[in-house]
């Protein structure tokens, strides 16, 4: 019981979730700004090709460049949900 009371008091006095989100928003650069100088670490190909320029500019009309960080199986055999971050381009249902 005491532990629960201490947790409630600490959450009220120091809301960590809100504080962390605010610190992230204030101190970390936006993807548009950060990708301009991180592109060299994100992309191993030539830095002057269409994909590299798209990543550098966060261009939604450039070729799709995406990092898949997690694959989660679905109930359908052989199908997965992919969680990732899009660096350029757009994700759609069917890529042609």
Structure tokens at 44: 């191993």
The domain in which residue 38 lies consists of 29-88
72 part of a folded domain: yes
46 part of a folded domain: yes
Domain count, the chain: 1
Supply the pLDDT for residue 73.
Answer: 93
51 part of a folded domain: yes
62 part of a folded domain: yes
Supply the pLDDT for residue 2.
Answer: 63
10 part of a folded domain: no
Query: What CATH number does residue 62 fall under?
Result: 2.40.30.10
Q: How far is CA 90 from CA 37, 39, 49, 75, 93, in A?
A: 22, 18, 18, 26, 10
20 part of a folded domain: no
Supply the pLDDT for residue 95.
Answer: 53
Supply the pLDDT for residue 53.
Answer: 93
pLDDT along the chain (96 residues), means of 10: 72 79 90 88 89 92 94 90 92 70
Q: Convert 16-34 to b/e letters by CB count within 10 Å (16 or more is b).
A: eeeeeeeeeeeeeeeeeee
Give the chain's length.
96
């Amino acid at each position: 019981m005491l532990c629960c009371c201490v947790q409630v008091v600490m959450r009220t006095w120091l809301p960590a979730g809100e504080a962390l989100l605010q610190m992230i928003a204030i101190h970390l650069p936006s993807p548009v700004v950060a990708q301009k100088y991180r592109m060299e670490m994100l992309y191993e190909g030539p830095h002057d090709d269409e994909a590299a320029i798209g990543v550098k500019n966060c261009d939604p009309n450039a070729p799709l460049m995406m990092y898949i960080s997690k694959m989660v199986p679905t109930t359908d055999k052989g199908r997965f949900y992919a969680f990732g971050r899009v660096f350029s381009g757009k994700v759609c249902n069917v890529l042609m």
